[in-house]
Chains A and B, each alone.
Chain A
Amino acid sequence: MPGIELRGVSNFILHNIDVTIHDGEFLVVLGPNGAGKTTLLNVIAGLIPYEGTVLFNGDGIDGLPPYRRNIGYVFQNLALFPHLSVQENVSFGLNAQSRNGEDSEARINRLLDDWGLGSVAHRHVGTLSGGERQKAAIARALATQPQALLLDEPFTSLDRGTSIYLQREIKAIQQKLGITTVYVTHNQREAEEMADRIAVIYDGAIEQLALPEDVFFSPGTKHIAEFIGSPNIFPCDTHTSLTRGLAEIRSGNLTIVIPDDGETVRKVAILPRDVYLSKTPIPGPDINRYIGRIDRLTPSQGHTLIQLQIVGHTVLAEQPTEIAHRMGLAVGDRVHVALMLKWLKVLV
């Protein structure tokens, strides 16, 4: 059943967007800065003009102003009202809709407790930590029991640990409520971990709408391949089943251990960002551990692409430039390489 449908939606940024987001689906809109991700959310929320049609559960909502669309929207800068307390922020929507009976009060208190905001309910939002502010913004968006939740890169300003914690919380809540969710990000890892499906947007158009593994291992267009980075592909020459659900494949001179589903393996792939590098031996079981030589270092937009030679195979790895500098990586260096089982994609 369709939750949200966009048919032929265009405006000053977007070009003829056709997307169906299933009821209860978690769709991640992934794309570089300026691609039109936020504009897409604003169209769904009715905050900016557009041509085309937006439907909720099959009903056209183009004529409805934002306040009648019943959408929960978490803005990139959160837009928590600074003159109100946490509790007043969370109850803002219910008060605005004159739904401020006893039920509403109980609902607000429950939301505050669920999100761990009970102890700071009467504090002003300016006094909260980054994580608490994110929680307050999410609780506020959910308070009116919206039929869809829109999140615009809500965790960009948080440290990695808090961000991962809140991503899991959001995903758990979304699954519990079964609420159709559109989550905008430029972070590929975040997209891969959270999405039921990913819509890759580039220059105002959706270039691919697919499952995460398809987006990352079979990029639909050149733009997506450039944005995500081409995966390392290892064609399978021989395949030998091992014990404990594992199998060993040979690809040229390279031996790779993979999870074994009993199916015929055509290729094994891994994204450059998932290739683990170290100057010292990598701890753990000696599976998929290699020694490689650095052939080339290519810095690009905060990341460095590292071209390695491993027993006659060219393998690409990617590290944030700061970390590559800290590791002291240089052309000709010999490095320890690991292809972690959990990041290997088996193509059957």
Chain B
Amino acid sequence: MNKSSFLSGVLPVLILLGLWETFARLHLAPSSFFFPPFTEVVREFFSLAANGVLGENFLSSLIRVLIGFTAGSLCGFIIGTLMGWKKVAANAFGPVISLLYPIPALGWLPLLMLWIGINELLPIAIVFIACFFPVCYNTITGIKGIDNNYIRAARTLGATEWYILAYVIIPLALPNIFTGLRLVSGMAWRVIIAAEMVAIPTGIGSLLMQAESLVRVDIIIVCLIVLSVMCFIFERFFIYMEHKMTVRWR
């Protein structure tokens, strides 16, 4: 990254933080209680980190996201691959998936609370649902978009269907699969926070709700910043992975 692009990326953030700090310090908000300065928020962040509250809740959320995201993406990838590859699988799963896909992940929450109960499995199930459908659809799109001549060429070269799947179809569908993963990597954090706010007593979402009940705006902002940073890191990770795995030929 050169100096000018670095500045154009960082400068707006610095200006925003500066305005925030000035606005709060000059008491331009109706009550400074509801709008603490940025430096206060940073101080609270370190305080929460030091006493272990932030770490404990963050770890709970992270584990749920990782399990739900991995399981949902993996299942979405497997079902999507089957549906893109074999017509019989597309016919079998297609109608059910088309019916369930439009339901927002959080729409499942009341039903899952009754079915699963309020326990560790609930937020994981919500993240699973949020990740499954987009990865599934993007995998199908990626596979269906492959030029049939690549598959025909592989067949005439003596490749079996499984070999073609492993060495032609999946590699060529990777850009689309990564698009799905990138989408859901941020979405997983957004839905876990929502699920924890509603139903689970631990995690960043739960901390948010506790802060709201104590009217601790500084803690709420800390939680939102953590959420934002995690979404950013996850998305960046998949952009990096996609670039690393497909840049040579795209």
| A residues at B contact (CB < 8 Å) | 42, 45, 47, 65-73, 75, 77, 79, 81-84, 92-93, 96-97, 124-126, 140-141, 144
B239 at the interface (CB under 8 A from A): no
Known: A66-B155, A82-B172, A83-B246. A77 touches B149 (CB 8 A): yes
Q: In the complex, which residues of chain A have a beta carbon less than 8 angstroms from the beta carbon of B150? A: 79, 81
A81 and B167 CA atoms in complex are apart in Å by 10
- Which one of A81, A97, A125, A144 has the greatest number of beta carbons of chain B within 10 Å? A81
Contact across chains for A83 and B153 when beta carbons are under 8 A apart: no
Size bracket, chain B contacts: 20 to 34
What are 19 pairs between A and B in contact, CB < 8 Å?
A45-B155, A47-B155, A66-B152, A67-B155, A67-B159, A67-B160, A72-B156, A73-B153, A77-B147, A79-B152, A81-B153, A82-B249, A83-B172, A83-B246, A83-B248, A84-B249, A93-B157, A96-B158, A124-B249
Q: In the complex, which residues of chain B have a beta carbon less than 8 angstroms from the beta carbon of A45? A: 152, 155-156
B201 at the interface (CB under 8 A from A): no
Contact across chains for A75 and B160 when beta carbons are under 8 A apart: no
Q: In the complex, which residues of chain B have a beta carbon less than 8 angstroms from the beta carbon of A73? A: 152-153, 156
Q: In the complex, which residues of chain B have a beta carbon less than 8 angstroms from the beta carbon of A70? A: 158
Contact across chains for B249 and A126 when beta carbons are under 8 A apart: yes
Number of A-B contacts (CB under 8 A): 74
Contact across chains for B246 and A144 when beta carbons are under 8 A apart: no
- Interface set, chain B 233-250, CB cutoff 8 A to A: 246, 248-249
Known: A83-B172, A83-B246. A96 touches B152 (CB 8 A): no
A81 and B157 CA atoms in complex are apart in Å by 12
CB proximity of B23 to chain A, nearest CB, Å? 51
CB proximity of B159 to chain A, nearest CB, Å? 4
A92 and B171 CA atoms in complex are apart in Å by 14
CB proximity of B42 to chain A, nearest CB, Å? 45
Closest residue of chain B to A137 (Cβ to Cβ) is B153
- Cβ-neighbour of A96 out of B147, B159, B171, B249 (below 8 A): B159
Contact across chains for B160 and A96 when beta carbons are under 8 A apart: yes
| B residues at A contact (CB < 8 Å) | 147, 149-150, 152-160, 163, 167-168, 171-172, 174, 246, 248-249
- Cβ-neighbour of B157 out of A42, A83, A96 (below 8 A): A96
CB proximity of B246 to chain A, nearest CB, Å? 7
A165 and B154 CA atoms in complex are apart in Å by 27
Q: In the complex, which residues of chain B have a beta carbon less than 8 angstroms from the beta carbon of A83? A: 171-172, 174, 246, 248-249
A125 and B250 CA atoms in complex are apart in Å by 11
A140 and B171 CA atoms in complex are apart in Å by 19
Q: In the complex, which residues of chain B have a beta carbon less than 8 angstroms from the beta carbon of A141? A: 156-157
A83 and B246 CA atoms in complex are apart in Å by 7
Given A79-B149, A96-B163, 12 new contacts (CB under 8 A): A45-B155, A47-B152, A66-B152, A67-B156, A67-B158, A69-B156, A81-B154, A83-B246, A84-B249, A92-B154, A96-B154, A97-B158
CB proximity of A10 to chain B, nearest CB, Å? 21
- Cβ-neighbour of B168 out of A66, A81, A140 (below 8 A): A81
- Cβ-neighbour of A92 out of B152, B159, B160 (below 8 A): B159
CB proximity of A73 to chain B, nearest CB, Å? 4
Contact across chains for B159 and A79 when beta carbons are under 8 A apart: no
A125 and B248 CA atoms in complex are apart in Å by 10
Q: In the complex, which residues of chain B have a beta carbon less than 8 angstroms from the beta carbon of A66? A: 152, 155-156
